Structure 1
């Protein structure tokens, strides 16, 4: 147990070891559906994230950080405040079982978005996104790296700009802040719209 806690601390996330029950998580997530949709695909507001198919460890990390204030969002802080460890694990497990909906990528974003995602930009020191988020954008849940494929472009744009400005600072070892600081608005937009179709 101590070894797991030390490894988690080094990687930058908490050792929350409660195994989630996806069936119970569907019930626990009833209030979440208002913004994120019953199937986790956010039908009402594109500025909200899709949660369908997101890794359970990543979701649990975000909910804990909304709850303890490490990630700043007034709406989510209120939603997470009363969640128990068990409910967080259950909700995270539930959304991880769902399928994200993808959309067609507008032609004008494919070339630049694909280049950045697959190869990065050596000239400006931007690494390939695939290293942490996988070739199909499914993330690496063991490291709590999020899935990006199918995500709402408006949400992705807002988060990359928040990392770039430092308004969002809950990334491990400043990884996303350092990368986003090198991205132009054009690159952020191309990546965000490329990701909506990635799978």
Structure 2
């Protein structure tokens, strides 16, 4: 078990033992204000709505994410999610919602965001014209998310790390959509465009 996962697991266990689950263990990986942490590939949680956070934690519990050998970041998150009870999931989401919304800064400076905008038009039917997301089709908001994280997830869908688990209907749909982005550069350009979009609604 990696050291940071051990810290997170011990933090969760200690909180449960003390009967004072304040969900601060989320910040061990996701940054001081849950704004994301590139060093451990942890996404910005502050721009994600409650329904999506809950769905992903439950998805980790079901094995929809973190099951492939190459997805070791997902495996570590899955181990954390699996020991969380429903009340702890709700408490963790409420804790994240208390953090200030912090849209990501673009990191892939060589990417062509204008090209990414054109490519994104095929994604807007689910994720919204402004990247605001659509809960009806389980499509999360993408505006303000870290570009490196969006890129990583597109790569994961294309490689089969995500979207191939039995029962993950919406993941399978996203995998098909990701396959339409032909090259690594296309994925970088889309990621850079989305990271630079302003948040139109508060999660």
Please tell me the TM-score bracket, short chain as reference. 0.7 to 0.9
Please show how residues 49-128 of structure 1 align to structure 2 within 5 Å.
Answer: 49-72=43-66, 73-96=74-97, 98-104=100-106, 106=109, 108-117=111-120, 119=121, 127=122
SS for the counterpart of 1:30 is: coil
TM-score (norm 1): 0.72
Equivalent residues of 2:65, 2:161 under 8 A apart? no
- Structure 1 residue 152 corresponds to structure 2 residue 151: no
Equivalent residues of 2:22, 2:95 under 8 A apart? no
Q: Aligned to 2:173, which of 172, 175, 187?
A: 175
Distance 1:110 1:173, change over 3 A: closer
1:42-100 superposed Cα distances (whole Å, 9 cap, x missing partner):
24627221111201111111101112212112211121122111221232344346413
Equivalent residues of 2:37, 2:43 under 8 A apart? no
Distance 1:96 1:143 in 2: 22
1:154-186 superposed Cα distances (whole Å, 9 cap, x missing partner):
221111011112121145172111111121211
Distance 2:75 2:40 in 1: 18
SS for the counterpart of 1:149 is: coil
**Aligned-pair CA distance for 1:28:** 3.7
TM-score (norm 2): 0.71
Runs of 5+ consecutive residues of structure 2 not aligned to the other structure: 1-20, 67-73, 199-203
**Aligned-pair CA distance for 1:142:** 4.7
SS for the counterpart of 1:192 is: helix
SS for the counterpart of 1:101 is: coil
Distance 1:80 1:46 in 2: 16
Equivalent residues of 2:47, 2:145 under 8 A apart? no
Runs of 5+ consecutive residues of structure 1 not aligned to the other structure: 1-26, 120-126
Equivalent residues of 2:115, 2:189 under 8 A apart? yes
